[in-house]
Structure 1
């Protein structure tokens, strides 16, 4: 059986110190097979925030994959946002959008952030054709006898939480991923956990959202998701501090 810890929206710069210490302690004691971080490691994409996030992730001592969240792109520095938006991520380069191949489960990254959008709120999600094609290629190459979990920052469709993602091309991406064999999409952004099934024709795909380890909680306290993969069975539970 494979056990994964799915965490999101840590927001270094506005992190909950007790919550990130609690999570690191659990990883050290329980040793999950991997940690999946679905974006917003930082609050304002500042260098010191990325440095703190990198130190925290390095100390976990297990395989880690990290998605880019909207808070991880420079917001006030437009030159950096458009010219070198990921420069401050270089210390974490080997973890960013890293596919994971574990016994019986493949983790597929899907980028849902953009430097620019034709709408006022750039914090919302968007799936570009390039990002989707990259994710589909990895999903289609995954072993057919295992589960395929897609990791993204924004929920591809709304999940009934108080916060929204409004992900453009999300519904189309979800259908394409399901057709390619994806079993679940793991996301963050809305700061509250959820686990729902979405039926697409003869396919059912799980939508699993993680809460936050920051001080920016919404309806639920600080939490992360624990996932168990046993053959073709996937079970989840939200663990609250």
Structure 2
């Protein structure tokens, strides 16, 4: 059996130190096979926030892979956002979309952030044609018997949470991922956990969202997901801090 801890929205700069310590203690005690972080490591994409996030992630001492979120791109510094949006990632660059080598499992990254969108709220998700093609190519290259988990920041479709993702191209991407053979899509952004079936591409995928370990909670206390994989069976458990 493979055990994964799925966490999201750490928001260093607005982090909940007690929640971070609680999660780190659970990792140390239970030693999951890997940790998946689905974006928003920082609050304002500052160098100091990335450095703090990198130090904390390193301290977990487990294999891990990281997706970036909308808060990880400079928001108020438009020059940096348009021309150097990823320069501040250097502290965690080697962790971004890092492959996890576990037998029978393939974690496929799908980028849902954008430097610019034709709408006022740039925090919402968007799946570009290039990002989708890259994800589909990785699914095609995966072993035929692998459990395929797609990791992105924004939910591709709404998960019934108080906060919305409104991901442009999300439904079409979900259909394409289903046809390609994906089993589940892991995401964050909305700060509340969910686990929903979604018909796509002639089959049913799981949409699994993680909560937050920051002060920016919604309806759920700081939490993370535990994923248990055995063959093609996938079980999820939400762990919320007391």
TM-score range, shorter chain: over 0.9
Identify unmatched segments of 5+ residues in structure 1: none
**In structure 2, C-alpha distance between the alignment counterparts of 1:98 and 1:132, rounded to whole Å:** 18
* 2:229 is the counterpart of 1:229: yes
- What SS does structure 1 have at the residue aligned with 2:41? coil
- SS of 1:154's equivalent? coil
In structure 2, distance between residues paired with 1:200 and 1:78: 37
State the match for 2:54 in structure 1: 54
TM-score with structure 1 length normalisation?
A: 0.98
Offset at residue 200 of structure 1 (A): 2.3
Aligned residue in 1 for 2:191: 191
Q: How far apart are the structure 1 equivalents of 2:62 and 2:139?
A: 23
Alpha-carbon offset, residue 83 of structure 1: 1.0
Cα contact 2:178–2:201 (8 A) shared by 1 = no
RMSD after superposition: 0.8
The Cα of 1:63 is off from its aligned counterpart by 1.1
Aligned to 1:109: 109
Deviates more, 1:196-205 or 1:9-18: 196-205
User: Counterpart in 2 of 1:99?
Assistant: 99
TM-superposed deviation, 1:99: 3.1
Q: Deviations over 1:176-197 (max 9, x none)?
A: 1111110000000000000000
Report how far residue 201 of structure 1 moved.
5.1
Rounded to whole Å, the distance in 2 between the matches of 1:185 and 1:151 is 6
* Partner of residue 127, structure 2: 127
Which residues of structure 2 form unaligned runs of 5+? Answer: none
Higher mean C-alpha displacement, 77-86 vs 183-192: 77-86
1:191-230 equivalent positions in 2, closer than 5 A = 191-200=191-200, 202-230=202-230
The equivalent of 2:11 in structure 1 is: 11
Number of equivalenced pairs: 241
Q: Give the distance between the partners of 1:167 and 1:98, measured in 2 at CA.
A: 24
In the aligned structure 2, how far is the partner of 1:137 from the partner of 1:95? 21
